[in-house]
Structure 1
Amino acid sequence: MTDHTARLDHIVLWVRDPLAAADFYEKAVGLEAVRLAEFAAGEVPFPSVRVNDETILDLMPLSFAARMTMLPGSADSAGHPVNHVCLSLPRDGFDALLGRLEESSVPMSDLAHDSFGARGKATRSFYFRDPDGNVFEARHYD
């Protein structure tokens, strides 16, 4: 794998209830919450969940859409998530995620095999939605 200097730092997801979203990502997806207590205390505007040492998902309250004035039309993206975010996991993490989502009765797509991604063909992959409608793909490579 080529070592690139650019890294994916964070993705901002619009959510109705950041605390409920953080709970979903912690319990069903297995990601660690960041700044949750600070958000609950009103000290920071949104919490996040950690994907890995370098990447987080920011759980931005949908009510903040009107504040998105950094570019013309930015507020218009509220409620319009990207097509999907893909999480690449080791095989055991992939299997554990499948189990947690099944336990939480989260609807999932069928398993796919050999879908192309950043590291070539993934052994298995599937899709699921979070409670706010954001679509995620999970995959593992051998």
Structure 2
Amino acid sequence: MPYELDHVVLWVADPVRSAAFYRDVVGLEPVRLAEFEKGLAPFVSMRVTERTLIDLVPLTVAPQLNAAPGAEGSAGNRLNHVCLATSEQEFEALRTRLEAGGHPVTPYAENSFGARGTAPRTYYFADPDGNVLEARHYG
């Protein structure tokens, strides 16, 4: 296959606050957080895998990206959800951290199809900006 997912952009009001959520609750490591805080980077990224990031881009940047040819009106909108696959142990630990922090979590769903086939269990939650994430584990 010639492609792989490089990054997903999520629009956020406060990238530093969002980075703290993704670091402390979800368990992802921030990339360029210090540079962003110093004004040296336009956004913060969170490392999902060695080769995949979630970019936390400030909503204030949306007008600039709407100016790209063919992009008018597309920047700043939410996508439906991003799915994170992990081990069963981390899947349960994430749910525990979400619930302990008062973050609403959906009931478990079963036998959900994804990139690696059918996952036995999944659940959904939102970040501080309302971006929806799905967590799942495969057997």
1:53-106 per-position Cα deviation (integer Å, ceiling 9, x unaligned): 1100000000011111223344x2344211111001111111111111111111
Mapped to 1, the partners of 2:104 and 2:36 lie a distance apart of 29
1:52 and 2:49 correspond:
yes
Shift in Å at residue 30 of structure 1?
0.6
Mapped to 1, the partners of 2:27 and 2:100 lie a distance apart of 13
**Count of residues paired in the alignment:** 138
Q: Percent of pairs identical after alignment?
A: 51
Q: Counterpart in 2 of 1:97?
A: 94
TM-score by length of 2: 0.94
Q: Which runs of 4+ in 1 moved over 6 A?
A: none
Of 4, 14, 30 in structure 2, the residue corresponding to residue 33 of structure 1 is 30
Quick one: which amino acid aligns to residue 126 of structure 1? Y
TM-score by length of 1: 0.93
Which stretch of structure 1 is more off in the superposition, 17-26 or 99-108? 99-108
Q: Where does structure 2 lack aligned partners over 5 or more consecutive residues?
A: none
Partner SS state of residue 93, structure 1: helix
Partner SS state of residue 59, structure 1: strand
Q: Counterpart in 2 of 1:118?
A: 115
